[in-house]
Amino acid sequence: MDHPSIFKVLFLLDLVFLPLCVSSYPKTLRESLDRSSLPDNFLFGVASSSYQFEGSYLSDGKGLSNWDIHTHTPGKIIDGSNGDIAVDQYDLYPEDIDLMDSLGVSSYRFSISWARILPRGRFGDVNKAGISYYNKLIDSLLLRGIQPFVTLVHYDIPQELEERYGEYPPCRCSVPFGNCTHGDSEKEPFIAAHNMILAHATAVDIYRSKYQKEQGGNIGIVLDCIWFEQISNSTADMLAADRAEDFFQNWFLDPIIFGNYPEEMSKILGSNLPRFSRNDKEKLKNGLDFIGINHYTSEYVQDCIFSVCEPGTGASWTEGLARRSQEKDGVPIGKPTDVDWLHIYPQGMEKMVTYIKKRYNNTPMIITENGYGQLNNPNLTIVCHDTERVEYISAYWD
């Protein structure tokens, strides 16, 4: 049976500049992206993350996060900037919501700063001011008819947990580095990903058993999704493109939806790939309600099993023996942007969602991120005359 169509398009646009910039293109954005042309249940949204937006990094009982420490460490950030103030959404969220409402935005994705709610992680009290802030934010959104999408974890954790578990985590071979004669760092990404999948399964299990029936909400996972085009028409390169998807988003989605890692991953990695216990598989049966897709770009892929490959991203056995490249015969896969890894390839979006729809039995999808990379420019006139961004959005929209 088909699931209802659920799509949310999130363009990464600066809320402060949007009203000024959109008015500069009455014949492009306003006509092609007219809200009235969309179905009533279409969610057109904007997105943020806590560290990049909230600011107020020590206000109202908030503790330090891993990002607070990282950005304050000399040499970590090239220009020395940090998120102490950011765009001050902690104080200015009513104005931000006014802007969203004026633009016809119907959904807002934001993340939780857990150091604001649990200043010392598991080792202290709950900060009621943090709970109050997110309650006020959510209530204000709902009053304007804007649907909140809450990201539970966006790389933002209390520093207390980083210090206790992050630097020398459990499963280490011994007390800091003593008595170790052999190690294999190639396995570590698979162990980390395995635990992330189990963490997702645990969170879904808790939500389904304790809250979902009463709240009527949905829970899913958001993944970076790159579309991989075979670099030639050969069967080997076709299989390599499939393999590249297995070693990318399928690495996470297959266990969550089907209960096991992709077959090609298991064949190539063998015992290096962790196994799910019987209890793990029971939790994984909870699956998800939707797949969140962050899609920005596409890449070419060349087979490295039956062909000789130059060293490069994807060429190793731990990456699936499918070498990834942004160009073919010196020609980029799409028009370059100011971000070196992001090329404009609109058909990649359609191919990506079609692929996921077929592979995962029409599980509902939400486009949680998509956007155009530009250099920072303080000149508002130039920023608003960004025809390339308009062309990018129009191309992906069409």
The amino acid occupying position 253 is: L
Question: Cα dihedral angle (315, 318, 319, 323), rounded to 10 degrees?
Answer: 10
C-alpha span between 342 and 109 (Å, rounded): 22
Helix crossing, 250-258 with 235-246: angle to 10°? 70
Phi-psi region at 290: left, alpha or beta (left = phi > 0; alpha = psi -120 to 50)? beta
Quick one: tokens of 166?
Answer: 């992050």
The amino acid occupying position 124 is: G
Alpha helices in the chain (DSSP H): 18-22, 29-32, 50-53, 66-72, 89-103, 114-117, 128-143, 159-161, 188-210, 212-215, 235-246, 250-258, 263-269, 278-284, 347-359, 380-384, 387-397
Please name the residues in contact with 48: beta carbons below 8 A apart, sequence gap of 6 or more.
89, 108, 109, 110, 111
Check: CB of residue 373 under 8 Å from CB of residue 339: yes
Quick one: tokens of 28?
Answer: 């492009």
* Active-site pick, 350, 369, 388, 391: 369
245 is an active site residue: no
Nearest to 281 by CA among 297, 261, 298, 296: 261
Q: Name the residue with tokens 């009527």.
A: 216
The amino acid occupying position 11 is: F
Check: CB of residue 222 under 8 Å from CB of residue 229: no
Helix crossing, 250-258 with 347-359: angle to 10°? 30
Nearest to 275 by CA among 262, 260, 254: 260
Give the CA count within 13 Å in the CB-facing half-sphere of 247.
Answer: 28
Question: Among all residues, which ones are annotated catalytic?
Answer: 369
